[in-house]
Amino acid sequence: MRDNVETLYGAIDDGAIAVRIPKHAKKELEAYLDCGLLCRGFARFRCERCEESRLVAFSCKGRGFCPSCLGRRMCSTMANLIDDVLPEVAHRPWVLTFPFPWRRRLAQDGALFGVLTRIFVESVERFYEERAARRGACGAVKSGAVTIVQRTCGDMRLNPHLHVVFLDGAYHEDGTELVWNELGHLRTREVGQVLEHAVGRMLRSLRRHGHLEIEHDVEEDDEPEAALCASAAQAHRTAPCEARRAYQGGR
C-alpha cells in the first residue's frame, strides 16, 4: 500500500480512475501508513525496578482497517462489556446480514440502517419477553442487548451487518427484586419465526417511508462514489444461474 498510494492518487487526479476518495477516507489511509513508526512519534517507558526502557510508537487509532488498532479496540470493548456492562447471566449471539440489493443503500444511509437495526433488536427482545411470560413470569418483563455494527466481510466486501449479544432470557419484577428467566433450548423453528417477524416489520417500514425499491445495480450514469459503493457491495457476487451450474457440476 505504501508503494502504490501515490500512484493511486495520481491516477485519480489524471482522470484515469473515476473515483473521488473522501477526505475522511484519505485521512484514515495516510494515518494507517504512519501507524507504529517510531519516526512518526513515540513514547518512552522505563521500569523503575530494573531500569529497562522501551520505545512504543504512536498508533493511528483508526476505525477503518488498521488491524492493530482495531484489535486493541475490540479487546478493550469486550473487556468493558464483560466487566462493567453485561450481567452474569447466559448470553447468546445473534447475527443479521442483509440482502445484496440492500447493502449499498444501508452503507450510505445511517438513519435507515438505524431503523432496521432497532426493528431487529426489538423483534428478538419481544421473543424473549413473550417466552418468559408464557413460562409464568409476571409483571414487567424485559431483556437486553448490545449491538456491534460491522461494515465488511472477511474479504473486505462491503457488507453492513449486525452482531448482537442478547441476554439469553428476560427479567421480571418480583416485589423489589429482579428475577432472571433463562431461555434454555432455542429451536431452529423459533429462530425462523423471529426472522420472519423482523423481516415483515422491515418491509413494512421500507414501504411506509418509500424505500421499498432500494435494489439498485451499477449504472453508467451513477456518480463515481455511488458506483464504487455498489461495486464493493457486489464484488465476487455469483449469479444464481452460475451458482446452480457450479452446484450441479460438483454434485
20 touches 12 (CB < 8 A) = yes
Instruction: Please give the Cα distance from 194 to 188 (Å, whole number).
Output: 10
Q: What is the pLDDT of residue 214?
A: 58
What pTM, to 2 d.p., does this model score? 0.74
pLDDT for 16-53, tens place per residue?
887 778 888 889 889 999 999 999 999 999 999 998 99
Instruction: Please give the Cα distance from 181 to 228 (Å, whole number).
Output: 47
Q: What is the pLDDT of residue 19?
A: 77
Please state, rounded to an integer, the average pLDDT across all residues of the chain.
83
Residue 186 cell numbers, joined = 432455542
Q: What is the pLDDT of residue 54?
A: 94
241 — pLDDT class (breaks 50, 70, 90): very low
Q: What is the mean pLDDT of residues 93-99?
A: 94
Instruction: Give the SS3 label for residue 134.
Output: helix
- The residue among 197 and 2 whose pLDDT is bigger is 197
Q: What is the pLDDT of residue 249?
A: 40
Closest CA to 58 of 32, 76, 94, 91: 32
